[in-house]
Structure 1
Amino acid sequence: MTVYNFSAGPAALPMAVKQQIADELFDWQGTGCSVMEVSHRSPEFVNLAEHTEQLARELIGISDDYAVMFIQGGARTQYAMLPMNLSSPQGQAVYAVNGHWGKLALKEGGRFTQAITTAPVSETTYASIPDYEADEIPQTANYFHYTSNETLEGVQWSKPPECGAVPLCCDMTSDLLSREFDMNRHAMIYASAQKNMGIAGITFVALRKDLIGQSANLIPMMNDYQTYANSGSMYNTPPTFPWYVMNLVLQWVKGQGGLAGIQRINRQKSGLLYEYVDRSDFYQNMVSKNCRSEVNVPFWLADESLNQAFLDNSAAAGLKALKGHKAVGGMRASIYNAIPEAGIEALISFMQEFERTHG
């Protein structure tokens, strides 16, 4: 039985990447050692690190005006590092909130700066992106933050928000590498790796160089972007295995036709699933069509008493991790880059049969 992993993260890895990891696990590049055992200062690993940055710059379109950094701690650490480095307790930052992770970023940012929002924060689940007047954004703000894709709610920005001359910063954890976007519109992007970039343990950060080292705060060395920019992200021993996996994933993405090729595939996959859900009275998606996520598709059964049966039967059929987040409920198919179209077809086929037998 073929198993498809729809987990929101840690998420599925491309099969080719998993196979290469298995092939190289005991002898990486003829060293006779696993990559997990090789010094991060060794020529082999330094070459890998440099190649990873080069691949990321090429695929995403990151110019030399930006520093590329590989940092531990996940996106949650960036929620704090960003205001520490770019703002201050006397400064101000603007947050556009359209879901769970945006709320957490706002809450953490508010510990280090005066954080304001573009619209009142909803206490309920988001199904759209709140409107705001771009010309009302204070241009004295140190930065403007948004979350490009909310994994719980399945709400995604189709294009970057408008914020005037305020530096635009984005948590792209769940959709970086899944589609094309204009890097030059952003002052900073960051993403935990465990969605589309690899495995948990490393976070990708690209930040405009002119914003580094300008903080008025006394920042711990491990929370200062200058530390990573000056040391090639090797001020301390970095998470070498996640770095290696990211390198393999980036090579795989390039082989899929880069971001343009990946985006075509992802739009085809999500389109198939949304089309089926929209035709059915048995399932529903409550997100506004103009901001539906291409990588996280939540759906609800009209009869919620059938939820557990759906989860039990789908798992038995090899369709794993379809349970929605407890804050949202229902089901969620996280269809990141590594999920093939065959996985979507298998899911739809199961949903059709479940509807036939339980409708």
Structure 2
Amino acid sequence: MSEIFNFCAGPAMLPADVMKQAQAEFIDWQGTGRSVMELSHRCKEYIALANEAEQDLRDLLSVPDNYKVLFIQGGGRGQFSSVPMNLKGLGESAEFLLTGSWSKGAQQEANKFLQAKVVGNTVEKDGLLSAPEITPNDLDTKSAYFHYCSNETVDGIEINQVPDSGEIPLVVDMSSNILSKPIDVSKFGVIYAGAQKNIGPSGLAVVIVREDLLDYAMPETPTFLHYKTIDKFDSMYNTPPTYSWYLAGLVFKWLKEQGGLTAIAKKNNEKAALLYQCIDECDLYTNNVHPDYRSKMNVTFHLKDKELDTQFLTEAEQNGLVALKGHRIVGGMRASIYNAMPIEGVVALTKFMRDFARRNG
């Protein structure tokens, strides 16, 4: 079979080396005669695996000692509810920057638990989208937290500068660009991320929470969603998604082998630059995001002639370039180029795009 490059926004492709190792270990993990998914999460072998995965993640992100790392079920969307439930004790309201579908979803869900105020929306100028700059003066000091999404997969908007929320805990949904570049964890109160972009399979979420924020949960918070309880039981209060955790651990080791997040960021910058250059140079394609806010993970673009959309997708798939259809909300095309996407995939895509533009421009 010819090589397939999967540009799906999520669940997304995993590194080929990780998949090969998982395949080799699927039936017999480290001589146990069992698959990882057949091991008890309480056995010493699995606990060692889980601890090693957490330490590798801490190493990659340089997580300070006063932060807890939690592995939780429910994906990123599950945290739309968990965050307000766990932080409501800090205040009766929270504030949200809306830059796309996922930040809007988080705000709407949080509004069930507290007053979820909108302090900023996506800005459009000269047909290009960008995010407003938020300062502490824009925020209510009585708010429980300030929330934003660092990368919007649907809209292709990425916020590269961490907002200054002053003394208000900063909460970020980093589902689609976590581990794509170095970050300063100490700037955040809570970082959460669904796994199915840059971490591993769907169903798992990683939460990094400053330990002084563990005592502010609503009394009604379900026990298995309570950050302090999850931390107390080392993310094993209930049976965790063991196989997803194992695969995440393999991805963390793979990232270390690539040279860590500084090295992976360099590769991601190169991939994104190649693709945006192609879009900008070919008259057939347009991107409606200001260059300062263009996502390096989810590159969205439209064909100027929408009648060509179906032909573009059909021919792309025939060339081994799959899952390029844009989200149903915005249409067009979307190429998700997470860490696992090799530069060869982006080169193949841009070569096809230039040829398609030449033939149909």
In the TM superposition, 1:85-164 aligns within 5 A as: 85-87=86-88, 91-119=92-120, 127-164=129-166
Letter in 2 for 1:355: A
Give the Cα separation in 2 of the matches to 1:121 and 1:320.
Answer: 29
Give the Cα separation in 2 of the matches to 1:232 and 1:126.
Answer: 45
Letter in 1 for 2:279: V
Match of 1:52 in 2: 53
Give the Cα separation in 2 of the matches to 1:332 and 1:121.
Answer: 19
Q: Residue deviations 1:313-333, cap 9 Å, x none? A: 101110000000010110000
Report if aligned partners of 1:99, 1:126 keep a CA contact under 8 Å in 2.
no
Match of 2:231 in 1: 229
Match of 2:190 in 1: 188
Give the Cα separation in 1 of the matches to 2:354 and 2:217.
Answer: 55
Say if 1:236 and 1:126 are closer, same or farther in 2 by CA, change over 3 A.
Answer: farther
Residue 61 of structure 1, CA deviation: 1.1
Residue 206 of structure 1, CA deviation: 0.6
Q: Residue deviations 1:299-346, cap 9 Å, x none? A: 110101000000011011100000000101100000000000100000
Q: SS of the counterpart of 2:177?
A: coil
Report if aligned partners of 2:89, 2:216 keep a CA contact under 8 Å in 1.
no
Report if aligned partners of 1:92, 1:116 keep a CA contact under 8 Å in 2.
yes
Report if aligned partners of 1:127, 1:153 keep a CA contact under 8 Å in 2.
no
Q: Could you say what the CA RMSD is over the residues aligned between the two structures, in angstroms?
A: 1.6
Give the Cα separation in 1 of the matches to 2:234 and 2:45.
Answer: 15
Match of 1:39 in 2: 40
The answer on 1:292 being equivalent to 2:294 is yes
Match of 1:266 in 2: 268
Q: SS of the counterpart of 2:299?
A: strand
In the TM superposition, 1:167-206 aligns within 5 A as: 167-206=169-208
* TM-score after normalising by structure 2: 0.96
Say if 1:120 and 1:346 are closer, same or farther in 2 by CA, change over 3 A.
Answer: closer
Residue 133 of structure 1, CA deviation: 4.7
Structure 1 window deviating more from structure 2 (80-89 vs 283-292): it is 80-89
Q: Which residue of 331, 348, 351 maps to 1:349?
A: 351
Letter in 2 for 1:23: A
Q: Residue deviations 1:25-52, cap 9 Å, x none? A: 0100110001110111111100000001
The answer on 1:340 being equivalent to 2:352 is no
Match of 2:83 in 1: 82
Q: SS of the counterpart of 1:297?
A: strand
Q: SS of the counterpart of 1:71?
A: strand
Residue 120 of structure 1, CA deviation: 5.1
Report if aligned partners of 1:88, 1:217 keep a CA contact under 8 Å in 2.
no
Match of 2:62 in 1: 61
Report if aligned partners of 1:89, 1:113 keep a CA contact under 8 Å in 2.
no
Q: Which residue of 275, 288, 308 maps to 2:277?
A: 275
Give the Cα separation in 2 of the matches to 1:309 and 1:261.
Answer: 37
Q: Percent of aligned positions with the same letter in both sequences?
A: 44
Match of 1:331 in 2: 333
Residue 79 of structure 1, CA deviation: 0.6
Letter in 2 for 1:85: N
Q: SS of the counterpart of 1:118?
A: strand
Q: Residue deviations 1:146-193, cap 9 Å, x none? A: 100000111001111111110001100000000111111001101111
Residue 111 of structure 1, CA deviation: 0.6
Letter in 2 for 1:68: V
Residue 88 of structure 1, CA deviation: 5.3
Residue 132 of structure 1, CA deviation: 4.2
Q: Which runs of 5+ in 1 are unaligned?
A: none
* TM-score after normalising by structure 1: 0.97
Give the Cα separation in 1 of the matches to 2:134 and 2:59.
Answer: 34
The answer on 1:25 being equivalent to 2:42 is no
Letter in 1 for 2:17: A
Report if aligned partners of 1:93, 1:114 keep a CA contact under 8 Å in 2.
yes
Letter in 1 for 2:144: N
Give the Cα separation in 1 of the matches to 2:134 and 2:98.
Answer: 11
Q: Which runs of 5+ in 2 are unaligned?
A: none
The count of aligned residue pairs is 358
Give the Cα separation in 2 of the matches to 1:90 and 1:20.
Answer: 47
Letter in 1 for 2:62: G
Q: SS of the counterpart of 1:127?
A: strand
Give the Cα separation in 2 of the matches to 1:77 and 1:126.
Answer: 31
Letter in 1 for 2:335: A
Residue 134 of structure 1, CA deviation: 3.4
Q: SS of the counterpart of 2:256?
A: helix
